[in-house]
A and B are shown apart, each in its own frame.
Chain A
Amino acid sequence: MFLLITIGILTFTALVLSFLRFALPTFRFSWLTAAGGALLAWVSMFFWQAGMPARLQFPLWQPESIFRQSPSFVADGTSWAFAFSLVTICVGVIVTSVARENFPGILGWVGTLALTALGVLAVTADNPLTLVLLWTAMDLTEFVAQMRFVQEPRLSERAVISFASRVTGILILLWAGMVSASKGAELDFLSPPPQAGLYFIIAAAFRLGIVPLHLPYASESSFRRGFGTILRAVSAGSSLILLARTPLSGVETPLTPYLILLVAAAALYGGWMWLRSPDELAGRPFWLIGMGALAVASALRGNPLGATAWGCALMLSGSALFLVSAESRWQDKALLIGAWGVSSLPFSLTASGWISSSGRFWYAVPLLIAAQVMLLAGYIRMSRRPLPHAGFENQPIWAKNVYPFGIHIILLTSLLLGWFGWDGARQSGNWVAALFASLLTFGLLRLAVRVRILNPVRAHWVRSAEAAWLDAVYHTIWEGYRTLRRLIALFSSALEGESGVMWTLLFLVLFITFLIQGSP
């Protein structure tokens, strides 16, 4: 029931803001309304703890003979950690908006609140059907928001590609359901067949939100920092919940050893690119790839708690860094709490990150730790980077005092989740691996001062390099597509041309002949 209260607060606030935007455009307390609503939703999250696990069943889809599942939700420790992270980031995005150039951006806040509500529903989904419904709702909301804010028509294509790649993730999850059905089973989160579990992981990868690499906003846009951060967080959270729900039995296939090596390679790539990124926004996709890969690796090693931990750290530590747009006192030191959240040291948010009861795939662990080291080193370096602009010149006088709260509440939540609220809290974890990673991180940071290759590359360098390989991929796909299109056009023109009726009858005879000879 508390789930509905949180969702209700977020939705109601979004509706009130929409009404104010159109009915009372001069209303002066819109930000206060948005921030108040988000904060209230954040407080309401603590009440979930009073009655967990709690289930919420929506009306059954009918006829029941053909629908094996209906939308339902569950509030348990795992979903609470994800939902709490999302609501916290929502508060952070709205509060820190006072320091961004587009303040007051009421439509942006409405989008933030609506997306957060959908994100919270998605992370509490109790079955794949509910999850695909919510994924789609989020994708549509996100697409509409992106189209609304995109100024350059050429960037619209990026929004469509992003939408299409996420829908691909939805189709893969649906296909997992079909694989399950073909084995005579029903797909659920508790006991997916091994073949279906692998599709879970592929679906989550597609949904992480790393295709396309950059959001369709101008690189310095305030939307990219504010609304972009909640977009990325909600995408990541709602896809990683799938990994956090995947039990060990769901990923035990002969392909898993190869998959974990592939994931380790992705983690190393993400870590390396993040370490060398010129700034946090340019490096954000690589943060998602690197941290997402660590979450996937945890799921593959049969550690769903670890997947939850890496997922929450991806969202919380990442968002704290991405939302920083202005100088404030103690900020660089406060951001070290974000680094603590990624460190996997005892009682940190990711303390459960390296736990593996079975000790499976030990050979991938060094690679994964190396990726963690690069991610952590990059994080610390970026948190100490001097900011290019102060950001308060055109803002109200109180903005300077309020802004740090937006960052601090995210960092505070990251600390809190290390101690409270879910099964991964108060864990000492694999402290040897964590200590090793931390020491290597300090070593890397010291080394970076002397070794040029460990330093950031120029921004334009990153973009052109990334465009080259992506262009090659797009070019190959496009060539294949055009060849197929020519073939189909040829076939269609034969059937639609002057002699089309004769061709049609010929094909009909052939079709009947095939049917007579055998079944499909």
Chain B
Amino acid sequence: MNAPVIWIIFPAALALLLMLTQNKRLLSLSGGAIAALLAVAAQFVPMEEAFRIGSMSIRIESSLSILGRQLIIQPSEGPLLALLYGAAALWFFGAEASQSAPKFVPLGFLINALMIASIAVEPFLYAALFIEMVVLLSIPLVTSLYSPPGKGVTRFLIYQTLAMPFILLSGWLLAGVEASPGNLTLAAQSATVLGLGFAFLLSIFPLYHWMPMLLEEAPPFAAGFLLWILPTATLVFGAGFMDRYSWLRNSPELTVVLRSAGLLMLATGGVWAAFQNHLGRIMAYGVIAETGFALLSLSLDLRLGIPIFFLLFPARALGLTIWSLALNIIKAHVPSLRYSQVRGALRKFPFAVAGMVLASLSTSGLPLLAGFPPRLALWDSLARASSDAALWVGVGALGLFTASFRMLAVTSMSDEYSGWEVGENWLQAIMLGLGVIGLFILGVFPQTVQYFLAALPSMFEHLGH
């Protein structure tokens, strides 16, 4: 038995098999169940240790060689896999409610497996290839056979593809830095190229404009999945670089760059969101601000920053799932997600609108909701380091709150009185209801996820210790 086979190759093969199935409910349920099973296995099954099941003795190896390259899943990375597959299970279970299961579940499995492969592959420059495969596989997810791809999809493809040469080039340069650590010019060059690669991958300001465009034209549930998996895996991949290279980790310039980029993402994401008139675009700016929060956490003293960094993940996954599902449900009943078309939607789709608003408030950092504890910890730690930075976080959060309240006002107002209806089906209502309960549980008892998160920093050798 081999960890990469279980958590990369098996899900990828399964995805190909699932493509043959057309039963939406079966796809959603089986996909969700298998992803949940993989998450549980990642959390509880030991790697590199023999254990017995009945009379069988099993040992799961952590590495696999393919064509001279290696896929390595360390035992300490089990909680990360559990997090990624656990969140994927949420998305797959929600796929039936969003009525996007046929394409979504198989491609979702494949994308998840490839993103894990990008974190696991050695040498790391091959990660660029896996990421590019993910980008290409994403295209059928956000486009339709019956209409040409819009500008948002094209921009997504351009910007994510542009990341690949930078990552490949940085791999080559970093090999040079490892060979001659004293060469400062080479180190600066490789850091710049690496930074540009991550700027494209994480869609750092001003490279993020494909996100709102994509959410205007693509199904929100599929787009939401991409906007969850791509930045999440890329952030872990990026943190891995910081762990690996001490000159990078100890560089004061890195703190400045991460903090500037994070603040810019958060402030512009928040302020831009406040001025949008389209529900999808607001979600896109919410995602941008989320990435800003994650970058800011990496700019802190990493003993504090790394636990905050990981604490942001469950809130992001749950919030985005609910937000995307809610938008998908609303979009199915209105001509567009522009404000003019969704006036009074609260009385027609109470679960979807409540889910959307609560998810957006969670992203803003409203107390009681999942996003609040990590944001509070982040804001507090940042204020101790720089009060100016804390002020900019406040500006971004204020913008996000404004956007949330505008959404709430628009969806609750209408020109004439209409009674309350429930436009969602029972499955959608249950999924959204459970998701919202989850948001509250994470918001009031953030310690509940520590069972999974506490061991995550140990996947890094140097960060967070």
Q: Give bound CA distance, A177 to B303, whole Å.
A: 21
Q: Give bound CA distance, A63 to B405, whole Å.
A: 31
The A490-517 residues at the B interface (CB cut-off 8 A) are: 492, 495-496, 500-501, 503-504, 507-508, 511, 515
Residues of A close to B397: CB separation below 8 A: 171
Q: Give bound CA distance, A496 to B213, whole Å.
A: 8
Docked-complex contact B307 and A63, CB < 8 angstroms: yes
A160 is an interface residue with CB less than 8 A from chain B: yes
The stretch that binds B, out of A54-62, A86-94, A253-261, is: A54-62
B51 is an interface residue with CB less than 8 A from chain A: no
A388 is an interface residue with CB less than 8 A from chain B: no
The A153-209 residues at the B interface (CB cut-off 8 A) are: 153-154, 156-157, 159-161, 163-164, 167, 170-171, 174-175, 177-179, 181-182, 184
List chain B positions with a Cβ less than 8 A from chain A.
Answer: 151, 155, 158, 199, 205-207, 209, 212-213, 256-257, 259-260, 263-264, 271-272, 275, 303-304, 307-308, 311, 344, 346, 366-368, 373, 376-377, 379-381, 383-384, 386-390, 394, 397-398, 401, 405, 408-409, 412-418, 444-447, 450, 454
Q: Give bound CA distance, A63 to B401, whole Å.
A: 27
Docked-complex contact A508 and B414, CB < 8 angstroms: no
Tell me which of A63, A68, A503 contacts B380 (CB under 8 A): A68
Tell me which of B256, B417, B454 contacts A515 (CB under 8 A): B256
Q: A59-B445, A133-B368, A511-B206 are in contact. Are A67 and B384 (CB under 8 A)?
A: no
Minimum distance in angstroms from B154 CB to a CB of chain A? 10
Docked-complex contact B260 and A519, CB < 8 angstroms: yes
Q: Which residue of B lies closest to A68 (CB)?
A: B380
Q: Give bound CA distance, A154 to B412, whole Å.
A: 9
Docked-complex contact A63 and B275, CB < 8 angstroms: no
Residues of A close to B381: CB separation below 8 A: 66, 181
Docked-complex contact A153 and B256, CB < 8 angstroms: no
A440 is an interface residue with CB less than 8 A from chain B: no
Q: A489-B275, A520-B256 are in contact. Are A182 and B409 (CB under 8 A)?
A: no
A215 is an interface residue with CB less than 8 A from chain B: no
Residues of B close to A489: CB separation below 8 A: 275
Instruction: Write 27 A-B pairs (CB below 8 A) sorted by A numbering.
Output: A61-B446, A62-B454, A65-B303, A65-B307, A66-B308, A66-B377, A67-B377, A71-B444, A136-B366, A152-B417, A153-B412, A153-B416, A156-B409, A161-B409, A163-B408, A164-B405, A167-B366, A171-B397, A178-B390, A182-B387, A495-B206, A495-B209, A500-B209, A504-B207, A508-B207, A511-B264, A520-B389
The A37-54 residues at the B interface (CB cut-off 8 A) are: none
Docked-complex contact B346 and A147, CB < 8 angstroms: yes
Q: Give bound CA distance, A380 to B413, whole Å.
A: 40
A485 is an interface residue with CB less than 8 A from chain B: yes
Docked-complex contact A507 and B206, CB < 8 angstroms: yes
Q: Which residue of A lies closest to B152 (CB)?
A: A496
Tell me which of A153, A157, A164, A520 contacts B388 (CB under 8 A): A520
A387 is an interface residue with CB less than 8 A from chain B: no
Q: Which residue of A lies closest to B457 (CB)?
A: A63
Number of A-B contacts (CB under 8 A): 147
Tell me which of A171, A485, A492, A501 contacts B398 (CB under 8 A): A171
Residues of A close to B367: CB separation below 8 A: 132-133, 135-136, 170, 174
Minimum distance in angstroms from A167 CB to a CB of chain B? 6
A151 is an interface residue with CB less than 8 A from chain B: yes
Q: A171-B397, A488-B272, A489-B275 are in contact. Are A62 and B408 (CB under 8 A)?
A: no
Minimum distance in angstroms from B354 CB to a CB of chain A? 9
Residues of A close to B383: CB separation below 8 A: 177-179, 181-182
Closest 9 CB pairs of A and B: A181-B383, A182-B387, A507-B206, A62-B447, A66-B377, A178-B383, A156-B412, A136-B367, A485-B275
Minimum distance in angstroms from B387 CB to a CB of chain A? 4
Q: Give bound CA distance, A168 to B308, whole Å.
A: 25
Q: A63-B450, A177-B380 are in contact. Are A488 and B275 (CB under 8 A)?
A: yes
Residues of B close to A462: CB separation below 8 A: none
Q: Give bound CA distance, A152 to B418, whole Å.
A: 9
Q: A61-B373, A65-B307, A136-B366 are in contact. Are A501 and B155 (CB under 8 A)?
A: yes
Minimum distance in angstroms from B320 CB to a CB of chain A? 21
Minimum distance in angstroms from B16 CB to a CB of chain A? 34
Q: Give bound CA distance, A152 to B158, whole Å.
A: 49
Q: Give bound CA distance, A329 to B412, whole Å.
A: 44
Q: A178-B390, A511-B264 are in contact. Are A151 and B417 (CB under 8 A)?
A: yes
Q: A153-B417, A181-B384 are in contact. Are A515 and B260 (CB under 8 A)?
A: yes
A140 is an interface residue with CB less than 8 A from chain B: yes
Q: Give bound CA distance, A65 to B454, whole Å.
A: 12
Q: Which residue of B lies closest to A131 (CB)?
A: B367
Residues of A close to B415: CB separation below 8 A: 153
Q: Give bound CA distance, A515 to B418, whole Å.
A: 53
Residues of A close to B206: CB separation below 8 A: 495, 503-504, 507-508, 511
Residues of A close to B271: CB separation below 8 A: 488
Tell me which of B155, B390, B417 contacts A500 (CB under 8 A): B155
Residues of B close to A481: CB separation below 8 A: 275
Q: Give bound CA distance, A233 to B448, whole Å.
A: 34
A326 is an interface residue with CB less than 8 A from chain B: no
Residues of B close to A63: CB separation below 8 A: 307, 450, 454
Q: A511-B206, A520-B259 are in contact. Are A178 and B379 (CB under 8 A)?
A: yes
Residues of B close to A68: CB separation below 8 A: 380
A484 is an interface residue with CB less than 8 A from chain B: yes
Q: Give bound CA distance, A164 to B377, whole Å.
A: 23
Q: Give bound CA distance, A140 to B257, whole Å.
A: 38
Q: Which residue of A lies closest to B408 (CB)?
A: A160
Q: Give bound CA distance, A63 to B454, whole Å.
A: 8
A137 is an interface residue with CB less than 8 A from chain B: yes
Docked-complex contact A157 and B409, CB < 8 angstroms: yes
A133-B444, A157-B412, A501-B158 known; 19 other A-B pairs, CB under 8 Å? A59-B447, A62-B454, A65-B303, A66-B380, A66-B381, A71-B444, A153-B412, A153-B415, A157-B409, A160-B409, A163-B408, A171-B401, A178-B390, A182-B390, A489-B275, A492-B212, A503-B206, A511-B205, A520-B389
Minimum distance in angstroms from A442 CB to a CB of chain B? 47
Residues of A close to B213: CB separation below 8 A: 496
Q: Give bound CA distance, A519 to B389, whole Å.
A: 11
Q: Give bound CA distance, A77 to B274, whole Å.
A: 43
Q: Which residue of A lies closest to B453 (CB)?
A: A63
Minimum distance in angstroms from B201 CB to a CB of chain A? 14
